[in-house]
């Protein structure tokens, strides 16, 4: 199984109204890296064409900061997250303390 497949599976496991960080996903995907793994996740997201199977919009930075979105951009991503029921900070960040998803 490619890193992409593992990452996709982990991301697809994220429930609605929850978000996960690139680093977290990388770790869950089995990529136990200090920080580099997060990059692989970003690549996988960008390379991901099945946005329906992989809700990349639920993936945020380590600080709950939105990085990018290969569909409608950060703007669209933020809207989707709000629609999911996630609140944003004045800086446009997400409260990881409340919405951070942790695998069982």
| Shortest distance in whole angstroms from residue 64 CB to DNA | 9
CA dist 12 and 27 (Å) reads 15
Does 68 sit near DNA (CB under 7 A)? yes
Beta strands in 1-104 (DSSP E): 20-21, 59-60
Binding mask 5-44 for DNA (x = CB under 7 A): ----------------xxx-------x-xxxxxxxxxxx-
CA dist 89 and 40 (Å) reads 27
Range in contact with DNA (rule: CB under 7 A) among 69-77, 78-86, 94-102? 69-77
Both ends of the chain: CA-CA distance in Å?
Answer: 22
Does 72 sit near DNA (CB under 7 A)? no
Catalytic residues: 56
CA dihedral 10, 11, 17, 19 (to 10 degrees): 90
Binding interface with DNA (CB under 7 A): 2-4, 21-23, 31, 33-43, 45-48, 51, 56-57, 59, 61-63, 65, 67-71, 91
């Amino acid at each position: 199984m490619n890193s992409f497949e593992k990452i996709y599976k982990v991301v697809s496991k994220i429930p609605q109204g929850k978000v996960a960080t690139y680093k977290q996903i990388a770790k869950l995907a089995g990529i136990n890296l200090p920080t580099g793994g997060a990059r692989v996740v970003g690549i996988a997201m960008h390379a991901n064409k099945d946005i329906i199977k992989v809700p990349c919009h639920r993936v945020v930075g380590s600080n709950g900061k939105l990085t990018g979105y290969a569909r409608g951009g950060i703007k669209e991503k933020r809207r989707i997250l709000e629609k999911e029921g996630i609140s944003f900070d004045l800086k446009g960040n997400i409260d990881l303390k409340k919405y951070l998803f942790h695998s069982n």
